[in-house]
Amino acid sequence: MFSFLMAKEECISQRNKTEHSSILRNRKNIPTSLKTSQAPFTSVSKDKISQTAGHSSEDDNQSSNGSSAQLFTRRHGESPVKVLLLLVVGLSFSTRLYKITEPPHVCWDETHFGKMGSYYINRTFFFDVHPPLGKMLIGLAGYMTGYDGTFPFIKPGDKYEQQNYWGMRGFCAVLGSFLPIFAYLIVLELSQSHTAAFITAILLIFDTGCITISQYILLDPILMFFIMAAVLSMVKFNQQRYRPFTASWWFWLVLTGVNLAGAFGVKFVGLFVILLVGLNTIWDLWRLLGDLSLSLVDVAKHFLARVVGLILLPLFLYVTVFAVHFVVLNKSGPGDGFFSSAFQSRLMGNNLYNASMPEYLAYGSTITVKNLRIAGGYLHSHWHLYPEGVGSRQQQVTAYSHKDYNNLWLVHRQDDNNSQSGSPDLVRHGDIIRLEHKETTRNLHSHLHEAPLTKKHFQVTGYGINGTGDTNDLWQLEVCGGRKGDLVKVLRSKVRFLHRATGCVLYSSGKTLPKWGWEQVEVTCSPYLKETPSSQWNIEDHINPKLPNISLSVLKPHFLEILLESHIVMIRGNSGLKPKDNEMNSKPWHWPINYQGLRFSGVNETEYRVYLLGNPVVWWLNLASLGLYLIMVAVASVTIQRGFSLGPKRIEQSQVLMRGGGLLLLGWLLHYAPFYTMGRVLYYHHYFPAMLFSSMLTGITVDILLNSADLILQPPYSDWMQRVGQMVLLLSVLYSFYLFHPLSYGMTGPLAHEPGSAMAGLKWMDSWEF
């Protein structure tokens, strides 16, 4: 009810402000008392009216209550609006920052992202499937608040002890606190209704899931912050459409671009919000194109402005983030092996950094062989056989991204086994060699069996014992672009291994083997002799005590090459996250119905338990509103299509429903539907961006539904009903938050199915695990 006073007030103040703006068209400034003179303008295109924050006072008078409200608002000027916003801000921050330091141990994925934050502080190179911005910000927050990067973040449950972890958590929580505020502003902008905005904010503030996910060192609050900020600035930008190329127009455009870069720089999920903004922009340009009062040059200007603001600028920022990432992380670390030899040579502490090794490949050397395909691994073998039914049951040969002693191979002549004394012979282009796996003493071998995954290729195995095998172990070494007699340069020569017996070439297909192959990458022998990076290799490590070590400078890779390389590694890593067999994995249809949460901390009765689960009242209300929204839109669009005459209030409501609601529905769909097509392992928390959109849609839908009470009831009763509805909604959200708050703020003691528990009787679904 309170919110209605606000709604009224906002209109008045906005209107007073707009009197002074000069570029407005189709709009007169109307004193609030002159209701009648306003009426003609409601029928003018809504686009134009809604450019100012206020809207036709007729509706406001219908929806708001009586004269006392007007008196109240007039007397107090702008303050109640601010009070409402301040209330949202205050509630949001207090719910997120409350008990921020508890539990004082590592929770769930903090073990990854905390660790990666530490890597930035220590400047150690690592590899992760997400772009670096989020972790950089976490590292920065930690650095600013006195965390020294020494905590190892080994596994969930490790005690933080004296470490300053609160800064990183606090940073995430602060960003998370902005979500309800942004949602409030977005809904306000889309629906011009403070009630709708306030409902949305309340739903998000008191959702236990949103609170929990904001309170820990995770990427999600950062990601959602950027997503919501991007949507907010996009909506604000839409409102500027009647004053193009003004300062505020440019401001919101640039801000949208910056936030898009931020969202995409944290997680690839940011792509969905880019799509949303992209679709919105296309729609906007389409509208401009249809505006025949604009010349084509004007349209081109609009187009170019958007290209700069929404494509070039974010791209530049995104690339900058990566540049910073590569500059900051200049020490060798756990991520080295994923990258090419050239890249590794710029990491301090890596064995290729200022490398010193024998310059030319020689017989008897111990080497590692790296595939030249981007993000290709090292030629690898281990004590495991191919399983039954996959070619012949010999030892597996794979490509593996990590550095490992199983990547070491010995170079032999085709005939002899022992390396001779004295200075060893050098290997030349066209020589026939044998590669023996150092750890298992098997030879690199191929034969006419189908490869495990790429059926058109032949299988590559490890065969023989102590280096004794058969003629299928012989490989002809070729330097790409070389002539007979050329020496093989370590690190710099691209070489190919041609199988003597079958004439195929050693090849890395890039496909991930199933579990029996430890999810390493398949290596095959390809009968297609085309030169591709997949069939080219280089010699990376080269150990031969009999040869002098020479300092080698490796060609430094271009920045764009590193960028491309790291992206391919990331994408491959992402799709490689396949669900494990014995893990109960979450399915997308579980999420909207709040089927099952995620355990952040603690399992049994004595531990401090935090459980990520949405407030069921909020989530189920969201779900119901989605259905309700569809029905309402269907009814509205049929009536409009059929040409029934509607009152101005209805027309405006259906405009809000279709435009604003449509945008939010699209946002929800874009952030939810793609997960159905993803093969990677999915978690409950992936739904949260979509949930934000769903909640905003709920705000608009419920508000309009309650506003439509006058369809069935006479005016005074409809107002009462509306207010009763709002109160019931507010109270039920608050009460359910009171019931479920231990999920977020932690609980100890017996589990929910026992009577003594704090959560007794609240396990409404069997699948909840608290």
**Using the rule CB under 8 A, is 766 a contact of another protein?**
yes
Q: List Cα–Cα distances, 206 to 349, 610, 701, in angstroms.
A: 49, 16, 19
Is-contact 19 33, C-beta < 8 A?
no
The single residue among 22, 36, 68, 292 that binds another protein, judged by CB under 8 A, is 292
* Residue where the block lists tokens 């190179």: 125
**Using the rule CB under 8 A, is 293 a contact of another protein?**
no
The single residue among 129, 174, 563, 751 that binds another protein, judged by CB under 8 A, is 751
The secondary structure of 41-102, three-state, reads: HHCCCHHHHCCCCCCCHHHHHHHCCHHHHHHHHHHHCCHHHHHHHHHHHHHHHHHHHCCCCC
Quickly list H helices, 164-312: 166-191, 194-205, 208-214, 220-239, 247-266, 270-290, 296-306
Shortest spacing between CB 679 and another protein, in angstroms:
6
Question: Torsion over CA of 401, 402, 405 and 406, rounded to 10 degrees?
Answer: -40
**Using the rule CB under 8 A, is 641 a contact of another protein?**
yes
Is-contact 165 151, C-beta < 8 A?
yes
Q: List Cα–Cα distances, 275 to 219, 236, 241, 271, 319, in angstroms.
A: 20, 18, 20, 6, 19
- Segment near another protein (CB under 8 A), from 2-10, 149-157, 361-369, 637-645? 637-645
The secondary structure of 352-369, three-state, reads: CCCCEECCECECCCEEEE
**Using the rule CB under 8 A, is 638 a contact of another protein?**
yes
Of the pair 69, 752, the CB lying nearest another protein is at: 752
Of the pair 179, 612, the CB lying nearest another protein is at: 612
Backbone angles phi, psi at 330, to 5 degrees: -115, 10
**Using the rule CB under 8 A, is 680 a contact of another protein?**
no
What CA–CA distance (Å, rounded) separates 20 from 11?
A: 15
**Using the rule CB under 8 A, is 215 a contact of another protein?**
no
Q: Spell out, one character per residue from 237 to 276, where the chain touches another protein: x when CB under 8 A holds, - when not.
A: ----------------------------------------
CA 62 to chain centre: 43
Of the pair 297, 712, the CB lying nearest another protein is at: 297
CA 575 to chain centre: 14
- Segment near another protein (CB under 8 A), from 150-158, 447-455, 485-493, 648-656? 447-455
User: 742 burial class (0-12, 13-18, 19+ CB within 10 angstroms)?
Assistant: buried
Shortest spacing between CB 686 and another protein, in angstroms:
18
**Using the rule CB under 8 A, is 47 a contact of another protein?**
no
The single residue among 77, 679, 716, 761 that binds another protein, judged by CB under 8 A, is 679
ω into 103 cis (within 30 of 0) = yes
Of the pair 148, 605, the CB lying nearest another protein is at: 605
The single residue among 25, 581, 712, 714 that binds another protein, judged by CB under 8 A, is 581
The single residue among 483, 485, 642, 756 that binds another protein, judged by CB under 8 A, is 642
Shortest spacing between CB 581 and another protein, in angstroms:
7
Shortest spacing between CB 596 and another protein, in angstroms:
9
The single residue among 677, 711, 714, 756 that binds another protein, judged by CB under 8 A, is 677
Shortest spacing between CB 263 and another protein, in angstroms:
24
Shortest spacing between CB 170 and another protein, in angstroms:
32
Q: How many residues bind to another protein according to rule CB under 8 A?
A: 27
Of the pair 7, 752, the CB lying nearest another protein is at: 752
Angle of helix 194-205 relative to helix 2-18, nearest 10 degrees, comes to: 130
- Segment near another protein (CB under 8 A), from 158-166, 289-297, 347-355, 427-435? 289-297
Of the pair 153, 768, the CB lying nearest another protein is at: 768
What CA–CA distance (Å, rounded) separates 199 from 203?
A: 6
The single residue among 282, 289, 673, 731 that binds another protein, judged by CB under 8 A, is 289
Shortest spacing between CB 648 and another protein, in angstroms:
21
**Using the rule CB under 8 A, is 453 a contact of another protein?**
yes
What CA–CA distance (Å, rounded) separates 448 from 670?
A: 47
What CA–CA distance (Å, rounded) separates 5 from 747?
A: 39
Shortest spacing between CB 723 and another protein, in angstroms:
36
Shortest spacing between CB 643 and another protein, in angstroms:
6
The amino acid at 177: S
**Using the rule CB under 8 A, is 104 a contact of another protein?**
no
**Using the rule CB under 8 A, is 388 a contact of another protein?**
no
The amino acid at 22: S
Q: List Cα–Cα distances, 145 to 109, 222, 496, in angstroms.
A: 21, 18, 52
Shortest spacing between CB 431 and another protein, in angstroms:
30
Of the pair 426, 633, the CB lying nearest another protein is at: 633
Of the pair 236, 609, the CB lying nearest another protein is at: 609
**Using the rule CB under 8 A, is 283 a contact of another protein?**
no
Of the pair 537, 591, the CB lying nearest another protein is at: 591
Tell me the torsion sign for CA atoms 693, 695, 701, 704.
Answer: negative
Q: Spell out, one character per residue from 455 to 484, where the chain touches another protein: x when CB under 8 A holds, - when not.
A: xx----------------------------
Strand 443-450 with 495-499, pairing: unpaired
Q: Which of residues 296-315 bind another protein (CB under 8 A)?
A: 296
- Segment near another protein (CB under 8 A), from 62-70, 417-425, 664-672, 761-769? 761-769
Token output for 330: 């200049």
Cα radius of gyration (the chain)? 32
What CA–CA distance (Å, rounded) separates 576 from 681?
A: 9
- Segment near another protein (CB under 8 A), from 32-40, 286-294, 398-406, 607-615? 286-294
What CA–CA distance (Å, rounded) separates 175 from 162?
A: 25
**Using the rule CB under 8 A, is 763 a contact of another protein?**
yes
The dihedral region occupied by 355, where left means phi > 0, alpha psi between -120 and 50, and beta the remainder, is beta
**Using the rule CB under 8 A, is 769 a contact of another protein?**
yes
Of the pair 150, 295, the CB lying nearest another protein is at: 295
Of the pair 319, 633, the CB lying nearest another protein is at: 633
Binding residues (CB under 8 A) for another protein: these are 286, 289-290, 292, 296, 450, 453-456, 581-582, 638, 641-643, 677, 679, 751-753, 763, 766-770
